[in-house]
Amino acid sequence: MPMRFSRILSSSATAWSSSGGIFDLSQRRARVEELDAISQDPTFWDDADRAQEIMKERGELVDLIERFDAQREALEEAEVFVELAEEADDEDVFADATSMVEQVRKVVEELELRRMFSGDHDDHNAIVSINAGAGGTESQDWAEMLLRMVARYCDSKGWDVEVTDCQYGEEAGVKSCDIRVSGQYPYGHLKAEQGVHRLVRISPFDSNKRRHTSFAAISVVPEIDDTIEIELNDSDIKMDTYRASGAGGQHVNRTESAVRLTHQPSGVVVACQAERSQHKNRATAMKILRAKLYELEMQQRRDEAAADHAEEKDVAFGSQIRSYVLHPYKQIKDLRTGHTEGNVDKVLDGDLDPFIESFLLKEGDEENSSQGE
């Protein structure tokens, strides 16, 4: 028994020391004090946008500090339980202490993931586009499965999901679908899903029950706020209006409220039919267009800086980021990180955190490695 008590104390000390080093709380507390001083300026609210950004930063820092302090208190309480267990030679108290330390470990892992959202737009809302690859109904059904998977993941995070445009397949599934996700760090999470997703299964649409391989692509871009200037000329944008409709032609509007915008210089096309008002749909479509043009510009810059890795990937064999095998065995594997899951139903129901965390950890390691060179 004493060896076990020693081990749990060592474990709690490790969690404490690692979390302290990871987050550098003294620096963050100092930043909160600095922001508090700035907010006391009588002219602070003269620039409302800047003031809101400062208060948002302060709120996030305070949340991180408070959660860290709560973790520290939980560890100290666990150490007291261990000491009591050692004195009383009590297995039940030891079990309670073990459980408390495990809870702290989960908090540390969550905060470590939060720390990785250091990208310029990780805290922004996300525009997610899902497009079926070649293969007709098979790929369209797979695209709808991915849409459901992403939507359920967003729901588990408490994020709001708005379908801005959706083109349904003739028999089943979706040809393409755009959603806007708003909440805490949606782009920081969902950027891990960007790429081609490959499905292997016995087709429910094949009377001969043959195995089929389908592809669908997920694109994720951050919603751009007004602080980033995107030059858009009205003469470059072609606007078409049409009647919005649901799957199978249901819920057809009597008015042409749906809007499709084509940015002619780049060829980028976006559409929105979420609202009954043409004006609101155009405003939403303009937001999506700005986001996609910004991401296009950023991608061009990344391609220029790393030409060796700039090949365009098709929605087909050899270009996937993740494979979902439902037959002859069940396994999902991320080809970027090597992370695998055997419970495919759980993942398709939206349990994406293990894949996203693996991706962010790998991305963080690569970034640290490049900085050290």
Q: What CATH number belongs to 2-115?
A: 1.20.58.410
Whether pTM exceeds 0.75: no
Residue spans per domain, the chain: 2-115
- Long-range contacts, 199-202 (Cβ 8 Å, 24+): 199/142, 199/145, 199/324, 199/326, 200/323, 200/324, 200/325, 200/326, 200/327, 201/324, 201/325, 201/326, 201/327, 202/326, 202/327
pLDDT for residue 123: 85
pLDDT tens for 308-348 read 433 444 565 456 899 999 999 999 999 999 999 999 999 99
Task: Using alpha carbons, list the distances in angstroms from residue 26 to 21, 29, 30.
Answer: 10, 5, 6
Place of tokens 């006391």: 40
pLDDT average per 10 residues of sequence, the chain (373 residues): 48 48 73 93 90 87 84 80 76 78 75 73 92 91 97 96 93 94 93 95 89 94 76 89 65 71 93 89 90 84 56 56 95 96 97 94 69 52
pLDDT tens for 141-192 read 999 999 999 999 999 999 999 999 999 999 999 999 999 999 988 999 999 9
* Cα–Cα distance, 270 to 286 (Å, whole number): 8
pLDDT for residue 78: 77
pLDDT for residue 310: 38
251 three-class SS: coil
pLDDT for residue 20: 47
pLDDT for residue 5: 47
